[in-house]
Every structure is written in C-alpha cells, then in structure tokens.
Amino acid sequence: MQASRVRVLGRSLVASRPSVVPRLVLQASRFASTTPAAEGASAPRPPPKSSLWKRFLQLTGGVTLVTLAGGATFYYFAQRDKEPGTQLPHDPSKKTLVICGSGWGATSLLNSLDTADYNVIVVSPKNYFLFTPLLPSVAVGTLSPRSILQPTRYVTRHKKRQVTVIEASATDVDPAKKTITFADTSEIQGEVSTTTIPYDYLVWAVGAEVQTFNIPGVREHACFMKELEDAEKMQRQFLDCMESAAFPGQSSEEVKRLLHMVVVGGGPTGIELSGELHDFLEEDLRSWYPELAESVRITLVEALPSVLPMFSKQLIDYTESTFKEAKIDILTKTMVKEIKEKSVVLQMPDKSIVDVPCGLVVWAAGNTLRKVTRDLMSKFPSLQANRRGITVDECMRMAGASDGIFAIGDCTATSYAPTAQVASQEGAYLARVFAQLARRDEAVARIQELEASAEPEAKAERDSLAKRLAKLEKIRPFKYSHQGSLAYIGSDKAIADLPFFNGNLATGGVATFLFWRSAYLSTLFSLRNRTLVATDWMKVKLFGRDVSRE
Ligand code: FAD
Ligand code: NAD
C-alpha cells in the first residue's frame, strides 16, 4: 500500500513546467510565421489605421464591460451580505437546539443548518468565528486581526429563522434534566450574568485549550498562539524586544538576549509561526532596524526526534532545509523544562540542562481539554474515561447521553486529528443529521396525532409514516474525507501532503505557497473576509508590515 503511493517533491514538478511552456509557444510562433509562406501567399498587408482604432475601441469596450459587470456582481454580493432580510420568528412548537461554541465545528454547523426546523441558540464567550490557520500571520502584522474574524451574527442573521446569539461561557450541563447553565464572563455585565435554559438537543463544540503540562513559568512568561489576543500580545512583545534592544547603552549580551526568539513546539503552529517571524525579519525589520536585524535569532524547540510528524519524510526534510537556509535553528529531542522571565531552561538530547537567554518565548506545544468539558464527561464516569476527549459514536452522539448531546471538533476523542478540517466536516455532517431528526420528529408527532382516529385513511397514513419513520431512525455514520495537509514554512514557501488518486502527493515550494494562499482564501467563510485578507496581502506587498507597537 505504502509502496504504491506516488510521492513527488513539488520543486521537481514546478521545475519541469517552464520547459514545456516555451516549447509550446515556440511551436505556435513557428506555425504562425511559416504558414503563409508555405501557401505561397504574399506577406499580409498591415490593417488600415481606422481598423486598428476600431479594434482598440472594441478591446477597451470589452475590458470596461467586464470590469463593470465584475464590480456590479461584487457590489451585489457585498450588499446582500450587509443587509440581511427578515427572518421567521422563534416557533414554540419547534425543538430547541443549543450550540456551544462559535469555532470551526459550530460555525460550519450553523452555515449548513436549516434553522427553519429548530429554535437555535448559540452560546460562546466569543461573539465571532476565528479563522485559526491565518493566526500566525496576524502575530507578525501580515494580516490585521479583524480580517480573520467573522462575527457570528453575520452568519445567524442570514438564516431562515431567527437564531439567538449569547456571548457567554457554558459552565454546567445537566444531561438528566436537559438543561445548560452559562455565565457572562465579559468585562461589563448587566444585572443578570448567569442563567439556565432547557434544551432538546445540545451540540458541544467548545474546542480545546493550551496544554502547559504544568511546566513552571509557561503561563507567566510565554505567549500562546491559540486565540486572537495571543497573536496580538505576541506582536506587541516582539516589537517591545526590538525597541528595548534599540535602547541606547544596551550591552551586546543584552541585545543578543532580547533578540533571541524561542518557539516551543515543532507541530504546524510552531513551524508556521517561525516561518512568519523569519519573513517579518527579512522583509521589514532589516529596513527599519538595520543595526539590529543581524542579531535577531529564531530557535524552534521540539521534544520529538523530528518536527511536523504528520507530514511525509520528504516534506520534513524540505522544511528543515528551508529553515537552515533561513537561519532558523531547530533543536529536536530537546525539551523545555521551565520558562523564566529572561531565559528558557532546556533539557538537551544528552539530558544536560541548559539555561538559554531569550527575549520572547512562544508556546505552541499542543492542546488539552477544557475544564467544562471534563466536568461534562464526569457526568458519565463509566463511559467517558478517555483523557483525550469526549467519546462519541459514529453519529457524533456523546456516549451515555442518548441523542440529547452531540460533540464535535477538538473536544472529542476520535480516530481523526484535532484539525479545523475535521471539525468543519463534522459540523456540516451534523446539519444533515439535524435535518433528518426534524423529519423524524415530525413523523412521530403526526403518528401520535393519528393514533386517536379510527378512520381507514388515518390508518393508511399511519402505516406509511411508520415505514418512513423506520428509515429516518437510521442515521448514516460520519465519514471524514481528508483533503490534504498544508502548512506555510516562510520564505514564500509552503508544504502540502495531498491525496492524489489512490496515493499521496507531497509537494513543497513557491507554487505550493500560491496554492496555500488560494486554498485558504477560498476556505474563508465570507466574501468580506476574503476581500479583507486579499487586501492585507496586497498592502503588505506594497508597503510592508507595520512596526509600530500599540
Ligand atoms: P474551536 O475552533 O477552537 O472553537 C471552540 C469555540 O468554543 C470557540 O468559539 C470558543 O470561544 C468556544 N468556547 C470556549 N469555551 C466555551 C464555553 N465554556 N462555552 C461555550 N463556548 C466556548 N487546523 C487545520 O485543519 N488547518 C490549519 O491550517 C490549522 N491551523 C491552525 C493554526 C493555529 C494557530 C491553531 C491554533 C490551530 C490551527 N488548526 C488548523 C487547528 C484548528 O484551529 C482546530 O482544530 C479547530 O479550531 C477545532 O475546531 P473546534 O470547533 O473544535 O474548536
Ligand atoms: P501539536 O500538538 O501538533 O504540536 C505540539 C508539539 O510540541 C509536539 O510536537 C510536541 O512534541 C511538542 N512539545 C510538547 N511539549 C514540549 C516541550 N515541553 N518541549 C518541547 N516541545 C514540546 O500542536 P499544534 O502545532 O499547535 O497543532 C495543534 C493541532 O492543530 C494539530 O492537530 C495540528 O494538526 C493542527 N494544526 C494544523 C495546521 C495546518 O494544517 N497547517 C496548523 C496548525 C495547527
């Protein structure tokens, strides 16, 4: 199976293309120049000036028309997004579906859900969806923070029936009573800041939180790369290190320390962030801090023998060689033991302990379950003992909670990796499940209505509904379809492990970087975000990144 896989490094694919294209162009031009001569025709006379003018006008007219049509279409869709129409009101006869979270799983579910079937309530401490794959770009100022956020109301206001959005954290679930309690954890609170509501169905999509392994100093001295505020904090601290290093009279040792950036974790988050930091240094800091740029060092620390274990060997080698060229040090088999205010304590491969001075530490060492998820699991002690997350069946139903609670995304323990791709497919799948459950519940209600009647028509309808109900009770299990793994590695290069026919295509390089950008641009959930991100990319190409510290 493994041997039959196609593995090609993108560099060789990309390199082979230019030779094909000029050959085709050459053949075409040869054909164009030899054909009239072969026919014995005399050289064609140049078209009269008036005809050239006509052609120019035709071309200009065509371009203007296409531009106008494109602009009008863009304007139409932008306005349609901006001005949502009227919605159906809440319907007391419909069941209540509570969705906890506004991340990948929850937003994908909301996007696909037919809200006419339910009264939907969304509970999340963030009133927005965060496009996590582009978070490292925010940390270095390639993208502005707002470009990768989508307010949840922008989604819910476009749904058929009104959806209630509540900015709060779920604090407790009572599966027996089918109630959920949530609290307003924001800075400003009204008279009521905690409440309990009943649900018929609950979707648990609260994601995970940063894993610190209780290593001393991580929470106090490191930046994380999980939420929007983490990226903003990292950007501020990074620029603070630059400015402090530029302070007059700083010793060369202190400058070296302040400009040593340590990224912990060689998973995709740590790799992408190191690549982005390198781009910032090469493309901008060299211009604005010419006397300091040479002293900036980036070190990536990984406890395992290699970085990016989920990618193929060629791509790991390609990433390592790209990092070597970019002068990013990779320390594998090295474990962070403690983070101090001005240094990081490392256990080296030979088990020796080294105290390495540094200005900034970014902690990208993986995730763990949220406390609220562990509390929910503790309600089913015999069935929910997996430390990785909630045990679900093949239809994403929480084991022990019958069909009352569904769980998706990073808070679950499944055979799939905790990725956005998995969470969003699970969300879209649940939307189909809820459509089927709505039909099932309608059939059950109608059968109950018909129970009282002895009419032959009623009996016939009941029998037919019973058959339909038997079909509706069978829910197709969730099936994950892997679309490939992509990661940006800096220097305008990306790597991709893509499913290709029955095998696998491993590719890396500049073409993959363009593919990475277009893939993420198309994955962004809205026209507004696509436009903002594309504009940010153009702005950075034209004017560079901002180095002012807010
Ligand atoms: P999340 O998207 O984390 O959403 C959880 C939601 O729950 C949030 O809205 C949160 O505010 C809310 N919440 C938290 N606590 C509560 C509570 N008590 N009550 C109610 N709501 C709550 N994956 C990929 O496939 N490709 C990538 O390129 C990629 N890049 C990434 C880059 C970074 C920097 C990071 C951090 C992750 C990346 N991932 C990527 C992983 C991906 O982001 C996660 O797998 C994905 O977000 C999981 O989706 P989720 O819905 O389970 O959780
Ligand atoms: P991760 O769990 O994939 O990697 C964390 C790394 O940190 C591990 O390799 C671990 O060995 C290392 N580590 C842990 N403790 C350490 C210590 N004390 N010292 C040194 N190293 C230590 O975490 P991640 O990169 O944040 O990714 C989380 C999830 O999000 C994964 O499922 C990943 O696939 C997904 N993700 C995907 C992409 C992408 O596809 N481009 C990008 C980011 C995240």
**Is 39 within the bounds of a domain?**
no
Which of 404, 427, 450 corresponds to the end of one domain?
427
Report helix angle 420-451 to 456-473, nearest 10. 160
Among 124, 414, 482, 513, residue to substitute to test ligand 1 (most atoms within 8 Å of Cβ): 124
Write the pLDDT tens digit of every residue in 24-79: 333 434 434 444 444 444 566 766 777 888 898 999 999 999 999 998 888 888 78
Total Cβ atoms within 10 A of residue 58: 10
Which of 387, 402, 427 corresponds to the end of one domain?
427
**Is 403 within the bounds of a domain?**
yes
* Ligand number with the minimum distance to the CA of 346: 2
Q: Residue 345: in which H helix or E strand, if any?
A: strand 343-347
Which of 85, 106, 139 corresponds to the end of one domain?
85
Mean pLDDT value of segment 328-347 = 98
Same domain, 232 and 363: yes
**Is 45 within the bounds of a domain?**
no
Determine whether the shortest distance from the Cβ of 169 to ligand 1 is under 6 A: yes
Mean pLDDT is lowest, of 83-87, 170-174, 202-206, 223-227, for 83-87
Rounded to whole angstroms, the Cα distance separating 239 from 8 reads 40
Determine whether the shortest distance from the Cβ of 206 to ligand 1 is under 6 A: yes
Determine whether the shortest distance from the Cβ of 482 to ligand 1 is under 6 A: no
Same domain, 234 and 339: yes
Determine whether the shortest distance from the Cβ of 100 to ligand 1 is under 6 A: yes
Same domain, 305 and 401: no
CA angle 164, 122, 101 (to 5 degrees): 160
Same domain, 203 and 132: yes
Write the pLDDT tens digit of every residue in 285-296: 999 999 999 999
Same domain, 331 and 196: no
Same domain, 243 and 385: no
421 CA → ligand 1 middle, Å:
11
Same domain, 312 and 239: yes
Total Cβ atoms within 10 A of residue 366: 16
**Is 459 within the bounds of a domain?**
no
Q: Which atom of ligand 1 is nearest to the CA of 417?
A: 45
123 CA → ligand 1 middle, Å:
15
Average predicted confidence (pLDDT) for the chain: 91
128 CA → ligand 2 middle, Å:
24
Determine whether the shortest distance from the Cβ of 150 to ligand 1 is under 6 A: no
Write the pLDDT tens digit of every residue in 307-326: 999 999 999 999 999 999 99
Confidence of residue 16 (pLDDT cuts 50, 70, 90): very low
From the DSSP assignment, how many helices (H) and strands (E) are in the chain?
16, 23
Determine contact, residues 308/364, Cβ cutoff 8 Å: no
**Is 40 within the bounds of a domain?**
no
Mean pLDDT value of segment 431-446 = 95
Residue 395 CA, distance from chain mean position? 23
**Is 112 within the bounds of a domain?**
yes
Determine whether the shortest distance from the Cβ of 405 to ligand 2 is under 6 A: no
Containing domain of residue 61, as a range?
A: 56-85
Q: Tell me which of 76 and 265 has the higher pLDDT.
A: 265
Q: Which atom of ligand 2 is nearest to the CA of 418?
A: 32
Mean pLDDT value of segment 352-375 = 98
Q: Rg of the chain over CA atoms, in angstroms? A: 29
- Return the pLDDT at 23: 42
Residue 480 tokens read as 């994950």
CATH classification at residue 277: 3.50.50.100
**Is 173 within the bounds of a domain?**
yes
- Return the pLDDT at 394: 96
Determine whether the shortest distance from the Cβ of 235 to ligand 1 is under 6 A: no
Same domain, 332 and 251: yes
CA angle 475, 476, 479 (to 5 degrees): 140
Same domain, 393 and 330: no
Strands 163-167 and 149-151: unpaired
**Is 375 within the bounds of a domain?**
yes
Same domain, 227 and 302: yes
* Ligand number with the minimum distance to the CA of 136: 1
Same domain, 494 and 526: yes
Report how many domains make up the chain. 3
Mean pLDDT value of segment 184-201 = 95
Local structure of 454: helix, strand or coil? coil
Same domain, 361 and 506: yes
| Closest C-alpha residue for ligand 2 atom 4 | 267
